[in-house]
């Protein structure tokens, strides 16, 4: 196994069988995490990029079995911010020192192209990079967001196992998910994708396929997080993913895609109180603190135990910055584009 880790660190290539071998034992986890940390340091450096997350609507027309925002969950109080609130949260994030905001929501058709265009243009005037995470759209809709100034788009593939995906995301097609990612690439977005770890019925082989999919797509950002069962969803009695396996999928992703941006996900911190710092020392280089203000934080409830629901953006910024500095890592002051992306454009 040590030879496989060495090969991954030096060549950034592993076969599916080799990935499966590393994912099947926890005996060499420490070596994998250390190798991923070295690769992170060599390719993307010590700086940690902070992206301010604005959760602007928890209304969703989709019905993903794992997600608390699913259409058929009657136990969530729904909200939708208006454009001025969203722009205001972005302005406050800029004043705190953020250079990027991530606008995330359920698939809420109220936010049509015209409304999104206004929000994107207004936020660009604040000199912020914008990441959108608002689900599956048409090519023309993605094009309109890009023309309005959006820089990046996050759309996790969730799992590359087509049958599993289509059983967990009713009425959504795996082909369409992939079509979206290809359209986004073609339109010149920095594209983020990723997977959930620990979905019911998910195999180690399919996790290996997920990592190889990220590489074949040449994704610019990859978010890996544990699936955490939500008591208000059909998957409430499932086991969910573990912190350790999620961390390992993330670290192997770093070994195979050395220069991409990888967040230390909030879901990891939900399962381990030092989860984000451990992830930052095992291959991650991005953190996405919440900059949504007020009661909305707790209403955007994908899974139970979400961190920081009663905190303010200023508190979160200070808290996470202090933690990051405590492990000897500086906070980046730039927009945090992938280097390869800047060279290409
Ligand atoms: N609606 C958009 C979409 O699905 O791409 C963006 C918002 S969605 C809530 C963002 C991510 O939340 C999903 O990609 C999914 O991986 C994650 N998520 C949903 N339910 C989860 C759960 N129970 N545990 C962990 N992550 C979850
Ligand atoms: Fe909606 Fe996204 Fe949740 Fe699926 S994962 S139900 S699309 S918010």
Does ipTM top 0.90? yes
Ligand 2 near 129 CB (within 6 A): no
Contact 263, 288 (CB under 8 A): yes
Evaluate if residue 230 carries a pLDDT over 90: yes
Which amino acids are annotated as binding site, given as ranges? 60, 64, 67, 133, 158, 177
Task: Look at the alpha carbons of 199, 272, 46, 5 in this order and tell me if their dihedral is positive or negative.
Answer: negative
Give the pLDDT mean for 54-58.
98
pLDDT of res. 171? 87
pLDDT of res. 344? 62
Long-range contacts, 337-341 (Cβ 8 Å, 24+): 337/129, 337/151, 337/190, 338/190, 338/220, 338/221, 338/259, 338/260, 338/261, 339/44, 339/259, 340/220, 340/259, 341/190, 341/220
Evaluate if residue 345 carries a pLDDT over 70: no
3-state SS of the chain is CHHHHHHHHHHCCCCHHHHHHHHCCCCCHHHHHHHHHHHHHHHHCCCEEECEEEEEECCCCCCCCCCCCCCCCCCCCCCECCHHHHHHHHHHHHHHCCCEEEEEECCCCCCCHHHHHHHHHHHHCCCCEEEEECCCCCHHHHHHHHHHCCCEEECCCECCCHHHHHHHCCCCCHHHHHHHHHHHHHCCCEEEEEEEECCCCCCHHHHHHHHHHHHHHCCCEEEEEECCCCCCCCCCCCCCCCHHHHHHHHHHHHHHCCCCECECCHHHHHHCCCHHHHHHCCCCCEECCECCCCCHHHHCCCCCCCCCCCCCHHHHHHHHHHHHHHCCCCECCCCCCCHHHHHHC
Evaluate if residue 231 carries a pLDDT over 70: yes
Ligand 2 near 106 CB (within 6 A): yes
Give the pLDDT mean for 183-201.
98
Evaluate if residue 10 carries a pLDDT over 90: yes
Which CATH number describes the domain made up of 26-333? 3.20.20.70
Ligand 1 near 158 CB (within 6 A): yes
Closest ligand 1 atom to the C-alpha of 68? 20
pLDDT of res. 341? 61
Across all residues in the chain, what is the average pLDDT? 96
Q: What is the pLDDT of residues 107-129, one digit of tens each?
A: 999 999 999 999 999 999 999 99
Cα–Cα distance, 11 to 304 (Å, whole number): 39
Cα–Cα distance, 266 to 275 (Å, whole number): 8
Ligand 2 near 62 CB (within 6 A): yes
Residue of 164, 196, 305 to test ligand 1 pocket, by largest number of atoms within 8 Å of CB: 196
Contact 122, 74 (CB under 8 A): no
Q: What is the pLDDT of residues 284-322, one digit of tens each?
A: 999 999 999 999 999 999 999 888 898 999 999 999 999
Give the pLDDT mean for 28-51.
97
Evaluate if residue 222 carries a pLDDT over 90: yes
Residue of 61, 78, 80, 107 to test ligand 2 pocket, by largest number of atoms within 8 Å of CB: 107
Cα–Cα distance, 101 to 90 (Å, whole number): 7
Ligand 1 near 70 CB (within 6 A): no
Cα–Cα distance, 334 to 337 (Å, whole number): 8
Q: Where are the domains of the chain?
A: 26-333
Contact 271, 228 (CB under 8 A): yes
Cα–Cα distance, 129 to 12 (Å, whole number): 29
Output the CA 32–ligand 2 centroid distance in Å: 32
Q: What is the pLDDT of residues 236-280, one digit of tens each?
A: 999 999 999 999 999 999 999 999 999 999 999 999 999 999 999
Ligand 1 near 156 CB (within 6 A): yes
Evaluate if residue 42 carries a pLDDT over 80: yes
Q: What is the pLDDT of residues 139-152, one digit of tens each?
A: 999 999 999 999 99
**Residue identifier of the C-alpha nearest atom 6 of ligand 2:** 70
CB-count exposure of residue 318 (10 Å: 0-12, 13-18, 19+): middle
């Amino acid at each position: 196994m040590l030879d496989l880790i060495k090969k991954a660190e030096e060549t950034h290539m592993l076969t599916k069988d080799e990935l499966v071998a590393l994912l099947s034992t926890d005996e060499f986890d420490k070596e994998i995490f250390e190798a991923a940390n070295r690769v992170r340091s060599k390719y993307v450096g010590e700086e940690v990029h902070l992206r301010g997350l604005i959760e602007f609507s928890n209304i969703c027309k989709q019905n993903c079995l794992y997600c608390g925002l699913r259409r058929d969950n009657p136990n969530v109080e729904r909200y939708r911010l208006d454009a001025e609130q969203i722009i205001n949260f972005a302005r406050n994030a800029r004043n705190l020192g953020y250079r990027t905001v991530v606008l995330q929501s359920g698939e809420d058709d109220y936010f049509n192209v015209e409304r999104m265009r206004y929000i994107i243009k207004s936020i660009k005037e604040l000199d912020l990079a914008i990441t959108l995470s608002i689900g599956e759209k048409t090519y023309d809709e993605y094009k309109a967001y890009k023309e309005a100034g959006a820089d990046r788009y996050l759309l996790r593939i969730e799992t590359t196992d087509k049958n599993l995906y289509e059983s967990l995301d009713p009425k959504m097609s795996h082909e369409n998910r992939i079509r979206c990612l290809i359209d986004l690439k073609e339109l010149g977005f920095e594209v983020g994708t990723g997977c959930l770890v620990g979905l019911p019925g998910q195999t180690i082989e399919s996790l290996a396929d997920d990592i190889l999919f990220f590489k074949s797509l040449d994704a610019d950002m990859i978010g890996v997080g544990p699936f955490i069962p939500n008591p208000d969803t059909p998957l409430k009695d499932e086991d969910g993913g573990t912190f350790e396996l999620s961390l390992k999928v993330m670290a192997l992703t770093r070994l195979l895609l050395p220069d991409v941006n990888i967040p230390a996900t909030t879901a990891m911190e939900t399962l381990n109180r030092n989860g984000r710092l451990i992830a930052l020392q095992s291959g991650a280089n991005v953190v996405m603190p919440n900059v949504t203000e007020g009661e909305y934080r707790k209403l955007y409830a994908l899974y139970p135990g979400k961190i920081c629901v009663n905190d303010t953006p200023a508190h979160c910024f200070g808290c996470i910055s202090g933690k990051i500095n405590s492990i000897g890592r500086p906070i980046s002051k730039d927009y945090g584009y992938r280097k390869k992306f800047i060279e290409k454009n």
